[in-house]
Amino acid sequence: MSRWKPDARSRLEKAALELYNAKGFDATTVAEIAARAGLTERTFFRHFTDKREVLFPNNNPLADLLTKATTNAPTDLPPLEVITHALTQAAPLFEERADLVRQRQAVITANPSLQERELAKLAALATTLTHALRKRGLNTATAALAADIGIATFKAAFEHWTNDPDRHPLAHHIRQTLNTARHITTNHPYADDTTTTPPPPECEG
């Protein structure tokens, strides 16, 4: 029996990420990716329009998943709890491909132009969440603020997860980071810092 091989798209993705990390994104060619995957350049272009799409696929299901999770969250949840629910629902999408996701992140971290593309993608996700929260009845300003906080929190949690030596689940990092965000907004800034001197009171005059 012949050994089972993953589908062409997966083989190309795996080969591309290995080469991007070994040689650098800019130095890697489509021909090299195809050769490493044991496929042709024509096959590569059946699945991806260019090298960048390997990292930023057009058919990414994350936006739809976040919209659905936000829409279906219990109606009595406050905005940040809705965001927590949506992001943790999306976490398995990353966890089931953890090794490839970490490789992808290493490539992006090493390339400033790819970092800009990643930030644009996160901004688009914030817009997606804003629309979903608006449909739950929030006004535009509140929905946008909650979405921006949620995506900023996700970015921080994602970075912790990709670098976590203990391999805690992404959902764990999302909840922990959102709890930190709540702490920042609800506690006195000097309550837990004995080394910082509060600003002096304003002089009366």
Asked if residue 70 and residue 50 are part of one domain, the reply reads: no
Asked if residue 154 and residue 108 are part of one domain, the reply reads: yes
- Give the Cα separation of 195 and 204 in Å (integer): 27
Is residue 173 within 8 Å of residue 157, measured between CB atoms? yes
In this predicted structure, which of 15-19, 60-64, 83-87, 195-199 has the lowest mean pLDDT? Answer: 195-199
Asked if residue 51 and residue 78 are part of one domain, the reply reads: no
Asked if residue 129 and residue 147 are part of one domain, the reply reads: yes
Asked if residue 43 and residue 69 are part of one domain, the reply reads: no
- CATH number (domain holding residue 171): 1.10.357.10
70 inside domain: yes
CA 35 to chain centre: 30
Asked if residue 66 and residue 51 are part of one domain, the reply reads: no
Is residue 101 within 8 Å of residue 158, measured between CB atoms? no
Is residue 177 within 8 Å of residue 153, measured between CB atoms? yes
Asked if residue 126 and residue 75 are part of one domain, the reply reads: yes
- Give the Cα separation of 17 and 105 in Å (integer): 10
204 inside domain: no
pLDDT at 42: 95
User: pTM score > 0.75 for this model?
Assistant: yes
Query: Does residue 190 register a pLDDT over 80?
Result: no
176 inside domain: yes
Is residue 56 within 8 Å of residue 67, measured between CB atoms? no
Who contacts 100 (Cβ-Cβ below 8 Å, separation ≥6)?
13, 14, 17
Which pLDDT tens digit goes with each residue over 22-63? 999 999 999 999 999 999 999 999 999 999 999 999 888 999
- Residue 139, SS3? coil
- Give the Cα separation of 168 and 47 in Å (integer): 33
Asked if residue 30 and residue 95 are part of one domain, the reply reads: no
Asked if residue 50 and residue 117 are part of one domain, the reply reads: no
DSSP 188-201: -TTTT-TTSPPPPP
Query: Does residue 189 register a pLDDT over 80?
Result: no
Place of tokens 């979405």: 147
Range of the domain at 114: 62-184
Asked if residue 92 and residue 160 are part of one domain, the reply reads: yes
69 inside domain: yes
Is residue 24 within 8 Å of residue 110, measured between CB atoms? yes
Asked if residue 66 and residue 50 are part of one domain, the reply reads: no
Asked if residue 72 and residue 25 are part of one domain, the reply reads: no
- Give the Cα separation of 178 and 173 in Å (integer): 8
17 inside domain: yes
Place of tokens 């976490």: 91
198 inside domain: no
- CATH number (domain holding residue 26): 1.10.10.60
99 inside domain: yes
